[in-house]
Amino acid sequence: MARKFFVGGNWKCNGTAEEVKKIVNTLNEAQVPSQDVVEVVVSPPYVFLPLVKSTLRSDFFVAAQNCWVKKGGAYTGEVSAEMLVNLDIPWVILGHSERRAILNESNEFVGDKVAYALAQGLKVIACVGETLEEREAGSTMDVVAAQTKAIAERVSNWSNVVIAYEPVWAIGTGKVASPAQAQEVHDELRKWLAKNVSADVAATTRIIYGGSVNGGNCKELGGQADVDGFLVGGASLKPEFIDIIKAAEVKKSA
């Protein structure tokens, strides 16, 4: 089964209601490849989710940027997976490196969140990736494998999971991974899935790349055999996000 190209826009903690409306208008007016070619998901901050969901074109979908690890209750400041389901929010990003690093989310905690969100019926963009220090120490694959293992140990059905490989050194730095660097990790990650989960999961799970993706570098990255799309931060707030969505065309001609 072919893996449908996936382009996610992670707006992070940015925007006012006015700015959000402007981004949605730009997206709504854009000419992009059809839904059979590319799946587009944008992730505004929680407070803008209902606004974006109710105004965004129906062929694009929304994602939350996080959710709580279990059923809601006395967890001040958190938002539960059930609430997202209740509002028909189909996707959630979990394990983003900013949360792993700044909020100390461990591999196990992220694994628990992924399992809980999936069990509630959400689809999950699960993020993994090494720091520069880890890459320079030659431990990229160990780090990425350990992060993926903590998810694999808790999840049996992978059909609603997209893995985002996001090297921390490439996020928000303008220092994008080279197409060869991205392909190498994606290929190894797929092999890891084949060996530790199943050949079918390895063949069908989308592995997308994130970290300084922009309108200029997206085609070459997207042309790599094991790069199934992108998770885009900074550029997802700009009109060039449309060009990144269009990079899905490179797979059609491949």
Task: Point out which residues bind ligand PGA (CB under 6 A).
Answer: 10, 166, 171-172, 210-213, 231-235
Which is closer to ligand PGA, CB of 79 or CB of 171? 171
Pick between residue 82 and residue 166 the one whose CB is nearest to ligand PGA: 166
Please say if 249 is a catalytic residue: no
Which one, of 176, 193, 179, 188, lies nearest residue 232 by Cα?
176
Q: DSSP assignment, residue 235? A: G
What b-and-e string marks burial along 193-204, b requiring 16 or more CB atoms within 10 Å of the CB? beeebeeebbee
Tell me the residue nearest to ligand PGA as measured from the CB.
233
* Closer of 10 and 80 to ligand PGA (Cβ): 10
Nearest CB to ligand PGA, comparing residues 42 and 151: 42
Encoded tokens for 161: 């999971």
**If you ran DSSP here, which 8-state letter would residue 161 be given?**
E
Distances (CA, A) of 121 to 29, 83, 89, 161, 218: 30, 11, 10, 11, 31
Q: How far apart are CA 87 and CA 217, in angstroms?
A: 35
- Provide the token pair at 222: 């997207």
- Catalytic residue chosen out of the listed positions 82, 96, 130, 134: 96
Least distance in angstroms from the C-beta of 194 to ligand PGA:
26
Q: Which of 39, 105, 130, 166 is catalytic?
A: 166
User: Residue 39: phi, psi to the nearest 5?
Assistant: -105, 125
The strand pairing partners of 162, in sequence order, are 125, 206
User: From the CB of 200, what's the least distance to ligand PGA, in Å?
Assistant: 27
CB of 231 to ligand PGA, least distance (A): 4
Q: Least distance in Å: CB of 61 to ligand PGA?
A: 16
Annotation says 19 is catalytic: no
Tally Cβ neighbours within 10 Å of residue 184: 16
State which residue, 118 or 235, has the beta carbon closest to ligand PGA.
235
3 state DSSP class of 56: coil
CA distances 229 to 7, 40, 102, 232, Å, are: 5, 10, 26, 10
Asked whether the beta carbons of 53 and 44 are under 8 A apart, the reply is no
Rounded least distance, CB 146 to ligand PGA, Å: 20
Residues recognised as catalytic: 96, 166
